[in-house]
Amino acid sequence: MIVNIWGTSVDEYVEVAKRLDGVKGVSGLELNVSCPNVKRGGHTFGQNPRTLARLVAAVRAATRAPILPKLAPNVPDIKVFVRAAQEAGADAISLINTIPAMAIDIERRRPVLANKSGGLSGLGIHPVAVKLVWDAAEAATVPLLAMGGVFGPEQAVELLAAGATAVAVGTANFIDPSTAPRVIDGIAAYMERHGMKRVRDIPLAR
């Protein structure tokens, strides 16, 4: 079980990481760095490589569990964040989180979401995830856990082909909770069709 954690300051992340350290069944901590604000400076952790590195290093020192920062998709160059995270001690990297988005009800003349805007997930963001995983893989020396619009084995294989080591399913679970086992079976069928023995054989040659 990989636990996704969040805080409004480095200290809060560190406190949560400490409380989860050594807890039975917790095999990793995924750091959600895509929304919170730091105490000073006003940058979100996932939008500034130096702030991200400071956070990862602090959590690294607070736990023995593997840590996976989950990178924000809306950055100019994902490779900068990949390098910052891994140099600070990340054991793997998760990507992508939702993409900031907004919908407006034009008849009621107000934003659809009470929060005005929110995070876009699902099939629509899948090509964005493929591109970011492809770019991230160029800089990554640690495994990449990829997500973003995986609704079936096709999208999972695509993310693996782009360079991911493993794939996660988010939104599709709300629609069909049997998505994950279906994806696993579909990856196995794809590998058989293509004469592949290991998932490691799926990434494209560059």
Q: Of the candidates 140, 150, 159, 202, which one interacts with ligand FMN according to CB under 6 A?
A: 150
Whichever of 57 and 113 has its CB closer to ligand FMN, that residue is: 113
Whichever of 63 and 94 has its CB closer to ligand FMN, that residue is: 94
Are 141 and 88 within 8 A, CB to CB? no
Question: Measured from the CB of residue 160, what is the shortest distance to ligand FMN in angstroms?
Answer: 15
Q: Of the candidates 63, 86, 165, 171, which one interacts with ligand FMN according to CB under 6 A?
A: 171
| CA 103 to mean position of chain CA atoms | 24
Note if 139 is an active site residue: no
Q: For the chain, what's the residue count?
A: 206
Q: Of the candidates 100, 122, 143, 152, which one interacts with ligand FMN according to CB under 6 A?
A: 122
> Residues touching ligand FMN: how many (CB under 6 A)?
16
Q: At what angle do helices 126-139 and 78-87 cross, to 10 degrees?
A: 50
Q: Which two tokens stand for residue 198?
A: 């290991």
- List residues bridging with 69 in a β-sheet: 31
Residue at token pair 């095999």: 27
The residues near 177 (Cβ < 8 Å, ≥ 6 apart) are: none
Determine the residue with CB nearest ligand FMN. Answer: 170
| 149 binds ligand FMN per the rule CB under 6 A | yes
Piece of the chain touching ligand FMN by CB under 6 A; list 46-54, 101-109, 131-139, 142-150? 142-150
Whichever of 174 and 194 has its CB closer to ligand FMN, that residue is: 174
Strand 99-101, strand 118-120: pairing: antiparallel
User: Could you tell me the CA-to-CA distances from 132 to 13, 48, 70, 119 in Å, in that order?
Assistant: 25, 17, 12, 17
Piece of the chain touching ligand FMN by CB under 6 A; list 10-18, 51-59, 106-114, 163-171? 163-171
Rg (CA), the chain: 18
The residue from 2, 3, 26, 35 that is catalytic is 35
| Binding string, residues 85-114; x marks residues near ligand FMN by CB under 6 A | ------------xx----------------
Q: Which two tokens stand for residue 34?
A: 């895509």
Are 140 and 93 within 8 A, CB to CB? yes
Whichever of 96 and 140 has its CB closer to ligand FMN, that residue is: 96
Catalogue the active-site residues. 35
Q: Which positions lie near ligand FMN, rule CB under 6 A?
A: 4, 32, 70, 97-98, 121-122, 125, 147-150, 169-172
